Structure 1
Amino acid sequence: MEEGQSKSVASNLWSSAETVKLLQKLFAEVVGTYFVIFAGCGAVAVDKMYGSVSFPGVSVVWGLIVMVMIYSVGHISGAHFNPAVTVTFAIFRQFPFKQVKGYSLYRYHSNKQTRFQIRWICVIHCANCISSEEAYFGTVPVGPNLRSFVLEIIISFLLMFVISGVATDNRAVGELAGIAVGMTIMLNVFVAGPVSGASMNPARSLGPAIVMRIYKGIWVYIVGPFAGTILGGFAYNLIRYTNKPLSELTKSATLLRSVRGYP
């Protein structure tokens, strides 16, 4: 009897509209993250091996692939592709906390699978480069770790500030969100790429580090993006439109509710 009830509950759970919708979102994030990493890290790997892409080309590839995937799956999953963005949305009540774990796990496995494929592409074309740090398609600090850490906070702040403006504010032109976010990533790569690698995404850096076993300065790319995106989300929510008077907004409780996304 209990076994029959448990099977019935499981059947209802997997057939519910909410579960199906969540699975669609997770699959969209897997596909989107896969192609973001495949194109971005693939461009880095090809440039390392052949020098045919160039640094400006790599910057453009990162911006274009993010823009393309936002327009492809943004209306399904929100097109986060970044655990720091997902956590920041959850903190400010713009994304349910219960889905954060699922998004992060699926995104991590997609990242790892993509990195293994890029690694074997490198092996096929250049047998010796896979063990060479010069052929590494991840991110490592150039110079002091602290400099890259500060830079990762700044560019992650800018990225989340733009995302909050174009994707969470109903006064923005939503159709331009993909272009705005893609161009922000391209600009950040141009500015920070030669110094920190312009990760802005813990999963983007952690995946290659695990696959290639190169962990130099990895804490920079875990702590920096999370700190920067949370600060960027906080900053935009401070200036988000409200019809409440200044005297009410300056009250600590009201300000906290405003920043956390309450009406």
Structure 2
Amino acid sequence: MASKREEISQMEEGKIHGASVTNVGFCASTSVVVLIQKLIAEVIGTYFVIFAGCGSVVVNKLYGSVTFPGICVTWGLIVMVMAYTVGHISGAHFNPAVTITFTLFRRLPWKEAPLYIIAQLMGSLLASVTLVLMFDVTPEAYFGTVPVGSNGQSLAVEIIISFLLMFVICGIATDDRAIGHVSGIAVGMTITLNVFVGGPISGASMNPARSIAPALVKHVYKGLWVYIVGPIVGTLAGAFVYHLLRATDKPLNELAKSVSSIRR
């Protein structure tokens, strides 16, 4: 009788011990730790991109001390700074449109894409809430993106500037022939130029997270679909075109197969 009790107790201890080992093994998994690091990097990076970029918009509208060129430079600088800071950790997407494009072009695992997008939206939402708490954001000082003209004009602008952004990203971040250490500068300068051109028309979002979070916080949904559809269409087109240029070392039949596989 005593021996049976000892066997039962040993079995129970073994189950408990096995469960603890399983939990520890899960937490100690290298892939899980790396994924968590990537997501944290995306949250922090997106937070400061939105905080600095949208913050410059708020400060300029409330106090007039930044000016439009200052806003353009701020957007470019903060993206460049955060790209160099966490780019080697998560890839420095900070943008659901970029994440979707990288996923479709097999540069990011499908299972990580939704987590990336959630992290980006979370970072943008936290930054938007921070700005609302820091400043008296009146309707005139709204830091989101709203079409200045028609939705069609803003949609066209968002597609074009998002195309250019993704075209540059593919050129300097995904091509082995490019000079890697200038990638952050190139992307930052591209965003600065895009804001100069597209800012007066659409606000130059190029990033669904940049537009969705302020809209949710301040309940301004006018033309919001433009800033979801436009960047996604533009980045997909930019990546597709650069893919054709990068694959020139392959025979024509292999290039056609590669393009058709991406379409599928």
Q: What TM-score, normalized by structure 2, do the two folds share?
A: 0.90
1:140-179 CA distances to partner (integer Å, 9 max, x unpaired)? Answer: 0001011001110000000000000000001000001000
* Worse overlay, 84-93 or 8-17: 8-17
Give the superposition deviation at 1:96. 1.0
1:126 alignment counterpart: none
Superposed, 1:107-146 pairs within 5 Å as 107-123=120-136, 130=137, 132-146=138-152
1:51 alignment counterpart: 64
Give the superposition deviation at 1:242. 4.2
1:193-218 CA distances to partner (integer Å, 9 max, x unpaired)? Answer: 00000000000000000000111100
1:104 alignment counterpart: 117
Q: Which one-letter code corresponds to 1:71 in the other structure?
A: Y
1:243 alignment counterpart: 249
1:127 alignment counterpart: none
1:72-104 CA distances to partner (integer Å, 9 max, x unpaired)? Answer: 111111000001001100100111111111111
C-alpha distance in 1 between matches for 2:64 and 2:178: 39
Change (3 A) 1:4 1:215: farther
- Say what the alpha-carbon RMSD is for the aligned residues: 1.6
- 1:22 and 2:35 equivalent? yes
Give the superposition deviation at 1:6. 4.8
Consecutive unaligned residues of structure 1, counting only runs of 5 or more, are: 124-129
* Worse overlay, 141-150 or 99-108: 99-108
Q: Which one-letter code corresponds to 1:37 in the other structure?
A: I
The equivalent position to 2:190 in structure 1, one of 160, 184, 188, is: 184
Contact residue 50 and residue 124 of structure 2 kept, 8 A: yes
Give the superposition deviation at 1:11. 2.3
Superposed, 1:138-177 pairs within 5 Å as 138-177=144-183
- 1:75 and 2:88 equivalent? yes
The equivalent position to 1:213 in structure 2, one of 213, 219, 233, is: 219
Aligned length: 250
- 1:42 and 2:46 equivalent? no
What SS class does the counterpart of residue 146 from structure 2 fall into?
Answer: coil
* Worse overlay, 112-121 or 182-191: 112-121
Give the superposition deviation at 1:4. 5.8
- 1:253 and 2:251 equivalent? no
Q: Which one-letter code corresponds to 1:53 in the other structure?
A: V
Structure 1 runs of 4+ aligned residues shifted over 4 Å read 1-7
- 1:9 and 2:22 equivalent? yes
Give the superposition deviation at 1:244. 2.2
Q: Which one-letter code corresponds to 2:190 in the other structure?
A: T
C-alpha distance in 2 between matches for 1:53 and 1:254: 47
Give the superposition deviation at 1:28. 1.1
Change (3 A) 1:220 1:254: closer
